[in-house]
Structure 1
Amino acid sequence: MEKQGMRAAQELNKRQIKQLRALGNHLNPLIIIGKSNLTEASIKQADETLENRELIKCSVLNGSDLTARDAAAQLAEQLGASVVQVIGNRFVIYRETSRDDVEKIKLVR
């Protein structure tokens, strides 16, 4: 997917990461990574979900060959997103949306 590789991850400072972690705590995982690991379909779904929400939580099932940290790094790199947090088998990633009709998260400076 051409669009994904072209986008660079936004550099987040410590205050912004803290803010996004707090926002991510109450989220339910929207992307589930299973035994087939990161497929084109799961990457596309994550891309669309990030465009709609900016901040998403993902979960890695026990049958996957990937750890949550590996999956987070790979997905963030492919989508031009930033890894906010990895705890256990879950992780949170952030990417500012390019859409104007979505309420954007106002990051602290």
Structure 2
Amino acid sequence: MTSKQRAYLKGLAMTMDPIFQIGKSSLTPELTAAVAEALEARELIKLNILKNCVDDGNELAAVLAERTHAQVVQVIGKKIVLYKEAKDEKKRKIVLPK
């Protein structure tokens, strides 16, 4: 992903609300499956890390991205933004700049 594409996705993510929260149980298989489903449906999602989660945001983002085959757009404090291009071209909502 180029820096231009990453900047574009960051701009889209600014107005989004987090759809998942990561708490003290950290990354469960259920959460990972739900994130994978959401990525397939939405392509771009934002997650919130709660204060009772002891894990580092960058590590959580890397593990989630690896498990869901997504890309980490950004991690700012307790917020994670992930992107995964839809497999079906008809379902693609986000067109990245070249």
Q: Which residue of 1 aligns with 2:73?
A: 84
Q: 1:59 aligns with which of 48, 52, 55?
A: 48
TM-score, normalised on structure 1?
0.85
Once the two structures are superposed, the pairs formed by residues 1-109 of structure 1 within 5 Å of their partners are 12-109=1-98
TM-score, normalised on structure 2?
0.94
Contact 2:85 2:92 in 1 (8 A): no
AA in 1 matched with 2:19: L
AA in 2 matched with 1:13: T
Aligned residue-pair number: 98
Any gaps of 5 or more consecutive residues in structure 1? 1-11
Helix, strand or coil: the match of 1:19? Answer: helix
AA in 2 matched with 1:105: I
Helix, strand or coil: the match of 1:29? Answer: coil
CA distance in 2, matches of 1:13, 1:103: 19
Any gaps of 5 or more consecutive residues in structure 2? none
What percentage of residue pairs aligned between the two structures are identical?
Answer: 38
